[in-house]
């Protein structure tokens, strides 16, 4: 066992969080499919597409929206997998371990990539859905808003915390070597 801290509540909550992350990795793509194919109007609203003259998606456009949104949700899914691994470490008592620091660092990177992916997703979606419009009514947008900035900011915060955790893990490892 790496690390000595394993309060029962950390282990118990971490086990639940690991399960929740695994559940979300499966359900996020399924929910995406349910929204795009079951409620296209909600897909339009979720991606703020009406603002760009896109008021309906059907047929091939639904597959396009699904493919684009699935592709750009990969950082989120990867981040959830890293978070799951982090919680598994915590549930085993590996609080101050290099593995925990690595998984937290990867989760932070996933947040940063997710912020960029959100901007690119909207750009790709609007471009793909308006490319069949006549010249002059096609759109290409790049929209960066507060949610993307906040996500990137939180990603940087988690990255710094992961670096500190990595240093703490190295110190803990050194201390174990002396005993």
Apex CA 22: angle with CA 20 and CA 23, to 5°?
60
Residue 124 to residue 137: CA distance in whole angstroms:
16
In a domain? residue 51: yes
Report the pLDDT averaged over residues 62-82.
95
pLDDT at 1: 45
pLDDT exceeds cutoff 90 at 150: yes
In a domain? residue 80: yes
Give 154-176 pLDDT, tens digit per residue. Answer: 999 999 999 999 999 888 888 77
Count CB-CB contacts under 10 A for residue 86.
26
Report the pLDDT averaged over residues 137-163.
91
In a domain? residue 1: no
Residue 159 to residue 165: CA distance in whole angstroms:
10
Range of the domain at 166: 8-178
pLDDT at 5: 52
pLDDT exceeds cutoff 90 at 33: yes
Count CB-CB contacts under 10 A for residue 98.
16
In a domain? residue 2: no
Q: In which band, very low, low, confident or very high, does the pLDDT at 179 lie, cut at 50, 70 and 90?
A: low
**pTM, two decimal places:** 0.85
Report the pLDDT averaged over residues 143-147.
88
pLDDT exceeds cutoff 60 at 6: no
In a domain? residue 87: yes
pLDDT exceeds cutoff 90 at 177: no
Split into its structural domains, the chain has a count of 1
Report the pLDDT averaged over residues 106-133.
92
């Amino acid at each position: 066992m790496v690390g000595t801290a394993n309060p029962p509540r950390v282990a118990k909550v971490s086990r639940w969080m690991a399960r929740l992350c695994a559940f979300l990795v499966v359900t996020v793509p399924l929910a995406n499919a349910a929204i795009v194919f079951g409620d296209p109007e909600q897909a339009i609203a979720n991606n703020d597409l009406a603002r760009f003259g896109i008021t309906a998606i059907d047929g091939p456009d639904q597959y396009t929206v699904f493919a684009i949104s699935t592709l750009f949700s990969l950082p989120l899914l990867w981040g959830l997998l890293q978070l799951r691994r982090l919680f598994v470490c915590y549930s085993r008592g590996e609080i101050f371990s290099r593995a925990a620091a690595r998984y937290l660092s990867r989760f932070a990177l996933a947040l940063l990539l997710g912020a960029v992916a959100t901007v690119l997703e909207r750009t790709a979606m609007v471009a793909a859905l308006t490319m069949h419009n006549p010249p002059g009514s096609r759109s290409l947008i790049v929209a960066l808003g507060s949610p993307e900035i906040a996500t990137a900011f939180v990603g940087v915060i988690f990255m710094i915390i992961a670096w500190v955790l990595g240093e703490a893990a190295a110190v803990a490892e050194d201390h174990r070597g002396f005993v």
